[in-house]
Amino acid sequence: MKKIVWLVTLLGALVGSIKVTLAGEDLDLKRTLNFASAERTYLVHRPKGYEAEKRYPVVLVFHGGGSNAKDWVSFCGMNEKADEAGFIAVYPNGTGKKIETHEILGWNGGPRRPGGDNPEQLKVDDVGFTRALLDDLAKVLKVDEHRVFACGMSMGGIMVYRLASELSDHIAAIASIAGPIGTESCDPKRAVPILHIHGTEDPAVPFGGGKGPIDTSGADYLSVDYSIRAWVKANGCETTPKIENLPDREEDGTTAIRKTYGGGRDGSEVVLIEVTGGGHTWPGREFGPELKVLGKSSKDFSANDLIWEFFQKHPKPEGKSVER
């Protein structure tokens, strides 16, 4: 595959270079909708034992930059968690281009993201697309509107932070892996619980902010601390966290600390899982040698397990839908 310009595109390209075999039932549905004069698509996985008359929680899974929805089905393993826990997993596709046969797609999560102030990317209304996607999904499946969640990694994590700020009428809670906020501020119309997982040795999107050593896009990222503090303030949480060590189950060169900022409005909280020694990775997922450049992936915990555990705690409170 051709060499890609951005680092996060490199991640997507590398993921795309791994041979992936998907059974037909893994994808279930591919939906196409016209939004803002463009054709947009997303994939849907219905959990095993799906019952057509039952309302289900939804987890939106936003791929990293330079990747696409199909790649992410295999990369993050969320379908397996959906089958186990009983939720609908939805994989939106960003916008971009094809290089050879691989779709190189990204998100407009704000100017502080890979590609920076790329004018073409900044024109894309991915918040509006997500709203349209949820409207379209509700036409074909029964959705529990109080349990619609969003997670993503890297550029996808940056995107879900923007959704928390600008689509809080639909999104109950978010989880970001290796993706800080891409805007200088956040302005949610209701408190949105936040889970952030980030490696301290991330070579692409540095834990402390600034430019990543292997990110050739030149993006100047906001720090994890900036992101957490912004949302602690927005949600009205306590400014001093409860700190606990997660079990160190594997000798993989990583450990993890959970910092919980509780006491927010409507039961909201902001939780940071700080992965000491962790890289630009999805904890709990095995990476091949072709992704070694991204650093260590912790085996001490499953990001998917922690994400779903967090989401279960935080449905959208009754009466908190707000039209923007």
Q: Residue 229 belongs to a domain with what CATH number? A: 3.40.50.1820
Whether 137 contacts 173, CB under 8 Å = no
Residue 324 lies in a domain: no
Q: Give the mean model confidence (pLDDT) for residues 124-147.
A: 97
Closest listed residue to residue 268, CA positions, set 246, 292, 237 = 237
**Can you give the pTM of this predicted structure?**
0.91
> Is 140 contained in some domain?
yes
pLDDT at residue 21, rounded to an integer: 34
Q: What confidence category does residue 319 fall into, taking pLDDT thresholds of 50, 70 and 90? A: low
Burial degree of 82 (CB within 10 A; 0-12, 13-18, 19+): buried
**Which percentage of the chain shows pLDDT scores above 70?**
90
CB neighbours of residue 37 within 10 Å: 5
| 200, 147 contact by CB (below 8 A) | no
Of 172, 179, 151, 161, residue with least CA distance to 268: 172
Apex 268 CA angle, 90 and 241, nearest 5: 115
Average pLDDT, the chain: 90
Residue 18, phi then psi, degrees to nearest 5: -75, 135
Confidence tier at 121 by pLDDT (50, 70, 90): confident
Q: What range defines the domain where residue 32 resides?
A: 7-313
Quick count: other Cβ atoms within 10 Å of Cβ 258?
Answer: 18
Is residue 13 in some structural domain? yes
How does DSSP classify residue 310?
H
Which residue's structure tokens are 């929805």?
Answer: 69
Give, in order, the Cα–Cα distances in Å from 225 to each of 25, 102, 104, 176, 210. 40, 35, 30, 14, 12
Q: What is the DSSP letter of 216?
A: T
- Asked if residue 90 belongs to a domain, the reply is yes
CB under 8 Å to 165, separation ≥6 — which residues? 181, 183, 186, 187, 188, 192, 234
| pLDDT score of 146 | 97
Question: For the chain, how many structural domains are there in total?
Answer: 1
Q: Is residue 165 a part of any domain in this protein? A: yes
Mean pLDDT of 141-159: 97
Whether residue 72 lies inside any domain: the answer is yes
Per residue in 242-294, pLDDT tens? 999 999 999 999 999 999 999 999 999 999 999 999 999 999 998 777 778 99
Place of tokens 């039952």: 54
* Angstrom distance (rounded) from CA 323 to CA 309: 28
Mean pLDDT along residues 57-83: 95
Dihedral pair phi/psi, residue 126, rounded to 5°: -80, -20
Is the confidence at residue 214, as pLDDT, over 50?
A: yes
Question: Per-residue pLDDT averaged across 94-98, rounded?
Answer: 90
Whether 185 maps to a domain, the answer reads yes
The whole-number pLDDT of residue 15 equals 42
- Taking only the tens place, the pLDDT of each residue in 217-250 is 889 999 999 999 999 999 999 999 999 999 999 9
pLDDT, tens digit, for every residue of 155-193? 999 999 999 999 999 999 999 999 999 999 999 999 999
> What pLDDT is stored for residue 13 in this prediction?
41
